[in-house]
Amino acid sequence: MYQLENSIKNTINYSFLSSTNNIVHIGYGIDNNYVRCCSCSIVSFCQNNPHQKFHFHIISSIISKNNLTKLQKLAQQYNINISISIIDNTYFDNLPTQKTFPISMYFRFLLPIINPNLSKILYIDADIICLNNINELLSLNLDQYTIAAVPDTDDMNIYRNKDLKLKNHLYFNSGMMLINIPEWNKYNTSNNLVDLLNTSPYNFKFPDQDALNLILTQKVHYLPKKFNYFNGFYPWNKDIIANKEVILLHFTSSPKPWDLGWNVSPMSNEYNRNLYKNYENYTPWKDSLPVYPKHYRRLRIYAKDLYHHGYYLKSLKYYFAYLLAKIKK
């Protein structure tokens, strides 16, 4: 049996809240590469819920000194608390990972262990931004449910339930989970998840999410998709914005809004193109450049998208960059 509570090495607290009453707790599990977009997510919650008192919990195996300094500035700027738990990720070394699903995807499992005295915490993927008031979500009574979450797409529901042999279950996306901490800890959920991932015969395509669906089946309160709205999968237009139909927008696909290629990608349009940047402009990362593609195939896609938008010379430049990166791989 794993004892994940032993993985915590150090906690850094930046505390600027003037009161400790009625605090909203939100958690993230990230690596150092995602601190930038995590800060943007934090700002989006603060700006759209100005009367809430927030305490943000970040779990990571390493965060650079520069990023820690910026997080402290962010906490002071918005009069919020930010706690950063640095963990020993060797506790997760034997668990399955993929290029698109690094070991940090498991850090969310620690949030209920680190905060056992809270009644609930809102877990959020760092590529989610808040667009409207979250009072409806916060007021939800979970009762006997361990989490509240949003169902994934219909295709994912069929595909993953079949692979995982789940019956009478609605497969949920784990990017947003309102966690009932007493219920979660009562069943030793965090350690059970790691045990399952370490010993299961299942072929996990989405490791953390698949395991969560297996462990929490019949313990989920399902929410409408406005609380985890998938950019690129669901419609996005001016009516949705005007009617405030989306509370939490999830940038599930690549490229992400901070990536090179976002502005010409089919994932972006005139209604969502600048949403992320509008919030990032209020963070210490406001002058950061777009992130260069880490995989050579993304360069090819970027070159193709540039061509379709009429940027022919620039398209040619990045196509040659793709060919060079492919040769060097």
Query: Which pLDDT tens digit goes with each residue over 111-129?
Result: 999 999 999 999 999 999 9
Q: Rounded to an integer, what distance in angstroms lies between the CA atom of residue 131 and that of residue 241? A: 9
Q: What integer pLDDT is reported at residue 203 of this predicted model? A: 80
Q: What integer pLDDT is reported at residue 12 of this predicted model? A: 97
Q: Rounded to an integer, what distance in angstroms lies between the CA atom of residue 194 and that of residue 2? A: 7
Q: Which two tokens stand for residue 106?
A: 């498991």
Q: Rounded to an integer, what distance in angstroms lies between the CA atom of residue 158 and that of residue 240? A: 27
Q: What integer pLDDT is reported at residue 170 of this predicted model? A: 97
Sequence-distant (6+) residues with CB within 8 A of 273 are 262, 263
Q: How many CA atoms lie within 13 A of 202 on its CB side?
A: 24
CATH fold for domain 4-227: Spore Coat Polysaccharide Biosynthesis Protein SpsA; Chain A (3.90.550)
Instruction: Return the domain boundaries, the chain.
Output: 4-227, 293-329
Packing angle of the helix pair 189-199, 207-216 (nearest 10 deg): 120
Spell out, as residue ranges, where the chain has pLDDT lower than 50. 1
Q: What integer pLDDT is reported at residue 243 of this predicted model? A: 67
Sequence-distant (6+) residues with CB within 8 A of 45 are 26, 52, 54, 130, 134
- The pTM score is 0.94
pLDDT tens digits, 10-67: 999 999 998 889 999 999 999 999 999 999 999 999 999 999 999 999 999 999 999 9
Packing angle of the helix pair 296-308, 312-328 (nearest 10 deg): 170
Q: Contact 221/145 with Cβ under 8 angstroms?
A: yes
Rounded alpha-carbon distances, angstroms, from residue 225 to 140, 149, 158, 313 = 15, 9, 17, 40
Q: What integer pLDDT is reported at residue 69 of this predicted model? A: 98
